[in-house]
Every structure is written in C-alpha cells, then in structure tokens.
Amino acid sequence: MIDNYPDNSRRFERAVDTIAVNYRVVDFEKGLDDFGEGMTASTLELSAGGMKLRMSERFAPRTLLDLRYKLRSDGKEITVLSVVVQTEPSEYEGMFYTVVEYPMLSDADRAEVDHYVKELNKRRGN
C-alpha cells in the first residue's frame, strides 16, 4: 500500500471514496490529449491535497496529469493540474495504484474538496 506519510503527518484529512476522474497527460512539446478521447480512472482515496487512483496506465513520478472530476453528480467540475508522486502495481492485472498531488488547486476548489471529505467522514463516523 502506498503511503507517502507513514508518520501520519498529512496536511489534509482524507476519505475513502470512489469518484470517476477523467485525465490526460500534459506534454508541453506535443500539447494536451483531448478529454474527449481521455482516459478515466477511479479514486480510492481523496483529500484536498491529492488523491490515490486506480489506473490502467503506469506513470513515472513527476508526470503531469490534467484531471477533471465532480465530487457530486450535480456538482461543479473541478479541473486541476496534478503531479504523479508514486505508482505501484495493484492486485488487479494491468492496473496500477497512482498517488497524485495537486499543488495548483485553487483555494476555492481546495476548500470544497476539504469540506466534502470532512462531511463524508462525519457521515461515516470516521
């Protein structure tokens, strides 16, 4: 299991949640892949600082990904540039666990994600 903060010194509260995330690789030489043809991953954990995803592609650390997701089906779409921190194979063949951080998330979106995570944990009694 990937854990970048083994001493539990995380900056933001996290929650286990499954959200569909559309992503594309950011390549400044080639330009951006089109979200219309983009790939989809699903979250395993979510926080206001990043997320852990289950993906069908393996990305090297420091790969830039442009992410789009909604916290609620009727909610605002969040688009954010993220950086891959770590990737490891999952127990499912051809799938990978990928941890990304999003240091450039807007303050408003970060507050929205943080509120969502805290409410989700509160409802679950965590």
Q: What is the mean pLDDT of each run of 10 residues along the chain (126 residues)?
A: 48 93 82 62 96 95 94 88 95 94 94 95 90
- pLDDT at site 2: 46
- Predicted structure pTM score: 0.84
Report if residue 8 sits inside a domain.
no
Report if residue 35 sits inside a domain.
yes
Range of the domain at 83: 14-116
Beta strands per DSSP E along 28-121? 31-32, 39-47, 50-55, 64-70, 77-89, 96-101
Report if residue 6 sits inside a domain.
no
Report if residue 47 sits inside a domain.
yes
What is the number of domains present in the chain?
1
- pLDDT at site 32: 58
CATH number, residue 29: 2.40.10.220
Report if residue 88 sits inside a domain.
yes
Report if residue 126 sits inside a domain.
no
d(CA 71, CA 115): 11
Encoding tokens for residue 102? 């999003």
Report if residue 107 sits inside a domain.
yes
- pLDDT at site 72: 86
Report if residue 4 sits inside a domain.
no
- pLDDT at site 106: 95
